[in-house]
Amino acid sequence: MKFVIVVLDGLRPDQLDEAVTPNLAEMSKIGLRLVRHTSSFPSETRVSSAALATGAHSSAHGIIGNRFLANGRSIDGSSLAALVTLGSERGGVLTATTIGEVLAAHGRAMLSIGSQSQGSFGLSSWGSWQTGAAAFWVHDPSKFSSTAAVHRTASSFPLLPPDERPARATIERVVDLFFSFLTKAALPEVSLLWLSEPDITYHMFGLQHPTAREVLHEVDRQFGRIFAWWSEKGEREGVQLIAASDHGHAIIGEKVSVLNHLQRSGFKVGYELTPDVDAAITAQRVVNIWVRDREGRLLTEMYHSLSEEPWFGVAFSRKAADGSPLVANTLPLSAVMAEHQRSADLSFVLADCSAANRNAPPDAVYYDGAYPIGVGMHGGLSANELSSLCILAGNGFKTGVAAVPTSIVDLVPTILSSLRLPLPSTVQGRIIDEALQDREDSSQYDVEDASVSVASSARRATVFRERYGQRLYLRGAAVTRLAQPKNGRPDANPTQLNT
């Protein structure tokens, strides 16, 4: 049995449609569609790359954001050099075992071809390319592995246009390299192909713009070349095809600068923990704050300065020595499987825009960063950002629709168990028995509501979660502002502000 996993970056499953994505629609009909499939948190590409590689959440793999603080400095996860330097230090890069490492340890091969950032590519096949497995990063195929097959294959293609947006020729190259590789070498046990669209175009135009629809159609056309090969040949040879995305997308409805807000409020903050500041922050859809020496009083003051703002969503903090969250009225980071030694002291998602404006579109969210209003964004805890594609096809899989909760971290255990390989102890996902042909039809668990809330006199913050098969699945988040009527009693019917 062999696996070919094709990741279509940022594809939100509700964008599938017979006219725009005919190949994915056809695969849904003949294969198995996981309709409650979600990403890990935060729903950022480098975190998802690590989740896909390890079958674990950031609490285990340690890539707690696209950018994070480690060993006292800010690490940009898109930079391979930054990751490799971190890897040479105490603590390493990933603190969980990857599928690439398991395959290599058992003499099996992995092929990776991708057009995402260099750092994301490195993370998605971490432990594989270091051992000499074939790895083509399309922007510079010499970067990751030096095998003769890679050189022979890559040298026959011209250089790609640098930083192509939309990345039409770039994603075509991923598929071209796959077929070129197949003419020169045998298909390994696991192949991971990562197409950086439609994500790039969603970040430029949003999801509904004609160009976004065109590029999605092109993504489907490129995927369709693999699907056609699989239908004609791969399926008969026992190849299991998986089409997946790493996260969904919301739309930037309003922008905010949390750094400016904190500075105006008198705090000394910066993007790095330099001697002249008391705290470092990273901000996109999730804002992370690291306070010097984990100073509890300063963190609490910052929380109070932030928590009244309409854009302040659900907040999390590390556990203090006594096990309670470091900041009162926040949830523990472990509630979203994100507590790690590298975690920020205080993390919060920016709210949905409907929190402050009932007329805002349902997927509009607050955002802190360089992208403009109206385009796609992800990273937070909204259902639109968490929602991810997963379609499975092949003789190892059942067909139809599986409506049980599944997540990106479930793919590694499912694939490894199908290959009869051991699961690393760091795996947090589960084997998706409901998807596997040789397992009992085992919807044997009940889906339990495992949502968690924390409330102060002013607001209630909730993370919607489900428990299934002893695993937690994230569904969304909400903030309910508790009105303070004149008589001092909280409003009996608080307004639902953020879902």
Which tokens in the block code for residue 299? 């963190």
Q: Smallest distance from the beta carbon of 338 to Zn ion, in angstroms? A: 17
Is 49 among the residues that bind Zn ion (CB under 5 A)?
no
8 Å CB contact between 494 and 460: yes
CA of 331: how far to CAs of 48, 315, 461, in Å?
22, 6, 8
- Of 58 and 418, the one with the shorter C-beta distance to Zn ion is 58
The only residue of 176, 246, 368, 466 in contact with Zn ion, by rule CB under 5 A: 246
State which of residues 6, 8, 9, 337 lies at the interface with Zn ion (CB under 5 A): 9
Q: Which two tokens stand for residue 322?
A: 């006594």
Alpha helices in 189-295 (DSSP H): 199-205, 210-229, 258-264
Stretch 184-223 residues interacting with Zn ion (CB under 5 A): 199
Nearer to Zn ion, 121 or 290 (CB): 121
- Applying CB under 5 A, which part among 5-13, 219-227, 317-325, 360-368 lies near Zn ion? 5-13
Distances (CA, A) of 460 to 307, 365, 490, 494: 11, 18, 12, 10
| Shortest spacing between CB 90 and Zn ion, in angstroms | 29
Nearer to Zn ion, 331 or 383 (CB): 383
d(CA 304, CA 285) in angstroms, rounded, equals 20
Closest residue (Cβ) to Zn ion? 45
Q: How far is the CB of 121 from Zn ion (least distance, A)?
A: 12
Stretch that binds Zn ion, among 44-52, 70-78, 145-153, 485-493 (CB under 5 A): 44-52
Place of tokens 């523990």: 332
As to burial, measured by CB atoms within 10 angstroms (0-12 exposed, 13-18 middle, 19+ buried), residue 457 is exposed
Q: How far is the CB of 199 from Zn ion (least distance, A)?
A: 5
Tokens at 14, concatenated: 């509700």
Closer to Zn ion by CB, 109 or 123: give it: 123
- Phi and psi for 245 in degrees, rounded to 5? -125, 165
Q: How far apart are CA 44 and CA 34, in angstroms?
A: 21
To Zn ion, the closest distance from the beta carbon of 45 in angstroms equals 3
Q: Which of 363/466 has CB closer to Zn ion?
A: 363
Name residue 246's beta-bridge partners.
none
The stretch among 6-14, 140-148, 273-281, 467-475 that binds Zn ion (CB under 5 A) is 6-14
Residues 259-278 that bind Zn ion (CB under 5 A): none
Token code pair at residue 60: 């285990």
Instruction: Read off the tokens for 50.
Output: 């690590």
Between CA 435 and CA 34 the distance in angstroms is 8
- Select the span of 3-11, 85-93, 145-153, 229-237 touching Zn ion (CB under 5 A): 3-11
**CB 50 → Zn ion: shortest distance, Å?**
12
Determine the Cα–Cα distance for residues 178 and 116; give it in Å rounded to an integer: 16
Query: Judging by DSSP bridges, how do beta strands 67-70 and 190-195 pair with one another?
Result: unpaired
Are 388 and 247 within 8 A, CB to CB?
yes
Nearer to Zn ion, 8 or 70 (CB): 8
- Residue 200 has a CB neighbour count (10 Å cut-off) of 24
- Considering the complex, what minimum distance in angstroms separates the CB of residue 252 from Zn ion? 16
- Write down the least CB distance from residue 41 to Zn ion, Å: 14
Per rule CB under 5 A, is residue 176 in the interface with Zn ion?
Answer: no
Q: Which stretch binds Zn ion (CB under 5 A): 82-90, 240-248, 302-310, 419-427?
A: 240-248
Residue 100 or 198 with smaller CB distance to Zn ion: 198
Closer residue to Zn ion (CB): 244 or 258: 244
Q: Does 45 bind Zn ion (CB under 5 A)?
A: yes
Which of the residues 294 through 333 are near Zn ion (CB under 5 A)? none
Three-class SS state of 103 = helix
Nearer to Zn ion, 189 or 246 (CB): 246
| Cβ at position 332, least distance to Zn ion in Å | 26
Q: What is the DSSP string of 17-49?
A: -TTT-HHHHHHHHHSEEETTEE--SS--HHHHH
Q: Rule CB under 5 A: which of 415-474 touch Zn ion?
A: none
Phi and psi for 280 in degrees, rounded to 5? -110, 145
CA 285 – CA 379 distance, rounded (Å): 5
Angle (CA) 127-7-146 rounded to 5° is 40
How many residues sit close enough to Zn ion to count as binding (CB under 5 A)?
5
Token pair 């430029």 in the structure block, residue: 204
Stretch that binds Zn ion, among 43-51, 164-172, 185-193, 214-222 (CB under 5 A): 43-51
Nearer to Zn ion, 220 or 246 (CB): 246
Site for Zn ion in 71-100 (CB under 5 A): none
Nearest distance from C-beta of residue 246 to Zn ion, angstroms: 4
For Zn ion, the closer of residues 47 and 60 by Cβ is 47
Chain residues binding Zn ion by CB under 5 A are: 9-10, 45, 199, 246
